[in-house]
Amino acid sequence: MSARLIDGKVASEAVRASVAAEVARLSAEHGLVPGLAVVLVGDDPASAAYVRSKGKQTVAAGMRSFEHRLPATASQDEVLAIVAQLNADPAVHGILVQLPVPKQIDPHAVILAIDPMKDVDGLHPLSAGLLASGLPGLVPCTPLGCLYMAKTVHPSLAGMEAVVVGRSNLVGKPVAQLLLRENATVTVAHSQTRDLPAVCRRADLLVAAVGKPGMIRGDWIKPGATVIDVGINRVPTQDGKGRLTGDVAFDEAVQVAGAVTPVPGGVGLMTVAFLLVNTLRAACAAAG
Ligand code: GUN
């Protein structure tokens, strides 16, 4: 058997096209142009590449992009001062501070300082609390992308056994909350889970968000299950360039699963698409 591929390129293009159409309408009818500010502290090449890509896609969707770069030696107060300035700027509807930040900066303090109305990353405790309470609010982008991809296979997730491997604030916990909101039966597994392969084998929908290349093996997957691979791990190759790979042993998974997301070309592309969705939502909410 060979699993169906859930193509992140196709899905993310559809999401970005619908955002662009709505942005065009908003700016033509109401003169409202959504704006996204991204703050990058330090010069990690992977983070810099993500930030460049976010900026390009923001502009391509017809929105304003603001980029703030600080040196790796920046103090927490300097970062907080930029966040305060962006909170007060009416042209900025969404604020994202690229993570991870250098070790002299407390990421929680930075996230807490962001105006929850502009929290397009959905990481502020208020956003997390609204999601956990089933109330409307901004939801983290990668989990929204996971849900969108799962729904291309299963328009209704009600009653499905979903297993999320990983419990981070960025992915594991919010994706579990979203699946619960869709009436799935949700198990959150993690590094201390006993007999993880057996827990994974229960899943009709398996979401892997652990950051360990190829950890989920083919025989951990129930035949026919849908597998969403959130991992983006760079592994060394002989030519020294490295290669991106997911948390799922893809070659094994395609033999067993009913549908699977590839890496690259899967969930990663959805994250930026839903960042644009969240910026549009934040702009509409700000306009009332
Ligand atoms: N670094 C990796 N993924 C993310 C994300 O979704 N948001 C932020 N702020 N930083 C990240």
Q: How many domains does the chain have?
A: 2
Domain identity same for 71 and 158 = no
Average pLDDT over residues 96-110: 97
Residue 21 Cβ < 6 Å to ligand 1:
no
pLDDT tier, 1 (very low <50, low <70, confident <90, very high otherwise): low
Residue 142 Cβ < 6 Å to ligand 1:
yes
Distance CA 76, CA 59 (A): 29
Find the CATH number of the domain harbouring 174: 3.40.50.720
Instruction: Please give the helix or strand (H or E) that residue 35 lies within, else none.
Output: strand 35-41
Domain identity same for 170 and 212 = yes
Ligand 1: atom nearest CA of 96 is 9
Distance CA 206, CA 115 (A): 33
**Angle of helix 8-30 relative to helix 45-60, nearest 10 degrees?**
50
DSSP symbols for 226-246: EEEE---EEE--TTSS-EEE-
Domain identity same for 109 and 155 = no
Residue 99 Cβ < 6 Å to ligand 1:
yes
pLDDT of residue 288: 81
Residue 247 Cβ < 6 Å to ligand 1:
no
Phi, psi of 43 (to 5 degrees): -130, 35
167 is in an annotated binding site: yes
Query: Is residue 151 included in any domain, yes or no?
Result: yes
CA of 114 to the centre of ligand 1 (A): 15
Give the ipTM of the model, two decimals please: 0.94
The pLDDT of residue 113 is above 70: yes
What does the pLDDT look like over 79-98, one tens digit per residue? 999 999 999 999 999 999 99
The pLDDT of residue 192 is above 80: yes
Domain that holds residue 108: 31-115
Catalytic residue annotation? 54, 98, 121
What does the pLDDT look like over 119-144, one tens digit per residue? 999 999 999 999 999 999 999 999 99
pTM given for the model: 0.97
